[in-house]
Structure 1
């Protein structure tokens, strides 16, 4: 390292240097974050409260909502602080910690989406053995495996990131500590880190995507063999929301990490990062609520049961009843 000074903190350049624009962005992403928390919490509560949703598909959906809450919380709160702070700094250790959670949650979400695709494959292509194929034990193992794969991948990437040295510059051209942006600032060799990043994105990501793709090839083939148009529509409706979520996540994430340097720009990188790390966690529960009849019915039922005005009417009616004499 010689006489070079070791960097102990990074400066996050963020999305804009304009103070007025930063206030606008703060309010916009605050609303997005609150919607993300509320929408995903509603999905989790509805699935837990409604016995009709105690099935493997909604078991995976509740875990997906939990991952989305964690994913958004790993990025947005610090981002909001930087919009209002004069000094937009983050320590190297905090930056590496954020990298760990980004990898953990991104890989876990991809694996859970693959498990959801397998669930739809079992339900549509082999319905007679569905309850055995997707038993509670197997569902738990699939979710546990998703978290385990995410943790191992995040651990390896983080351990190798901790071995890097930074001696300047220390400005990250991004709104969060994504590994590609951090690697550009390293004074030491990053080949091992790039190999690990390639393994995470291309091998794990591609494996998850291919598994989902193969599942849906079988699903669509089975649906097309259904004679009844109503039967085909009903079968496809159970998959449409999952397909939409998968498309939004994989298309943006793969383009972000596999695009050539010739088409790379800071604005483009940030747009795609915002899509898969901030907007997707907000859109996922909304997509499932709009496209899934069972979820819409359960949410409507829950809102009806806990309607404030209904509670007030019930309370007034109870208190108007005459008291019985002793």
Structure 2
């Protein structure tokens, strides 16, 4: 954008007045002195100058779109009248505002039609050549005067081009400034909106981050609990594995013992059968012994009775013998 401003200033050179423009080209006063002479010499031939401009202007590639307009005789004749007035005023009053305003208007109209300003300069160059041709015809062999007035024509042609380019440059600069201002306002609004959005997004992210941090801490706590539980599970699994190994060994030992017990039971079963037979025999012997014991008890009872009677007899005998000794 700064480069555009620089380029615009190159073309319009600031806001100079018409007088300032002319003074730069009229360093020796030749324009002020010679322009009225030119106006007088071409007074009756403005139509030729105007037609010279339009005849060449309409042959240019960039003005092809105007040919249909130029074919409308009424409109074209009106434009010729305006061009003739322009040629007259330019030389009659080069320091006046009317000519300058007409130059500005012509430049703007050309620009609105999207025709380059160089096409206008080309048409004006042809008109200036026609002007010099008319001057030569009017002056005749006075080459010094022709040279002096031709110099006035070419200087005014340069002023003319300068004014048109400066005007369009100033207009473009103003439009560019307005556009920059509008874009600046839009940009500032966009930046403000972006900052607001970023701030709101930052606040949301901060809240989300806090929530995420809390969740992360909770997850870390749960992870610690899970790790501890996993460690306990691992210990329990190791203990369970050890217990299972012990149970397997115990089951194996029990299996061996059961097998041994089964073998013993088998042998005991056989011995039990033998014991049953022995028990039956012993039962018979017990019955016999019981009978013998009964006999013995009877004999003992009888023997006891006999001993009792013998005791009585002995006592009696002792008593009897004692008495005899006394």
Same fold judged by TM-score > 0.5?
Answer: no
TM-score range, shorter chain: under 0.3
Q: Using CA pairs below 8 Å that are at least 6 residues apart, which structure has the higher relative contact order?
A: 1
What is the TM-score with the length of structure 1 in the denominator? 0.25
- Based on CA coordinates, which of the two structures has the bigger radius of gyration? 2
TM-score (norm 2): 0.25
